[in-house]
A = this chain, B = another copy of it.
C-alpha cells in the first residue's frame, strides 16, 4: 500500500485526536502529511468523509490489536482490566492528553450528521466488543452477559478518556480500571 496514503491516514488520525473531524481542515492534513491536495482526492475520491471513515476503520483495528496484545500479556481477563486502563492513562500523560481515542471523538461528534462515519464507528465498536466478549466467555461468562459487560467496559474507557482529557488528569481513568476489574471479577465469581 502506498506510503503517501499511509502518511495521509496517520496524519489525519493524529489531527482528529486533538481537533475532531470538523475542527480538522484538509489543508492541515496536507501540511502534516506532506502530501498535496490531489493525493488526498486520488486515494479518497469521496473527500473528507471517505478519508475520515478510513481513519476510523484503520485506527480502530490498531486499537483492537493493542487491546488483544495487552489482554494476552496479562493472561487473565480480570488482570487485563487495570493493565488496559493504566496503559491508556500512561499514553495520555506522555502526550499531554492529546493521544485520546479518535474513534470515540468522531463517533460523538458526527454520528448524527455523517452516516458513513457513524457506520464506520459501529463496525469498529463491534470488533472491540467481540474481542472483549470472547475473552469473557472463555473465562466462563455466557454469551449475552459477556457482550453486555464488554460494552460497559468500552463505555467506561471512552467516558474515562473524556474526563481525563477535560481534567488533564488520569487519576479517575485508573480508578475506573479498578472498578471494571471488580465488575469482571464479580461477574465471573
**Which residues of A line the B interface, CB within 8 A?**
18-23, 97-98, 100, 104-105, 107-113, 118, 121-122, 125, 148-149, 151-152, 154-163, 165-167, 172-173, 175-176, 178-179, 182-183, 186
Q: Is the CB of A148 within 8 A of B165?
A: no
Given A182-B186, A183-B183: A166 and B107 within 8 A (CB)? yes
Q: Is the CB of A148 within 8 A of B113?
A: no
Q: Is the CB of A154 within 8 A of B149?
A: no
**From B23, B110, B178, contact of A110 by CB (8 A):** B23
Chain B residues with Cβ below 8 Å from A118 are 166
Q: How far is the CA of A157 from the CA of B152 in the complex (A)?
A: 9
Chain B residues with Cβ below 8 Å from A156 are 152, 155-156, 159
Chain B residues with Cβ below 8 Å from A110 are 19-20, 23
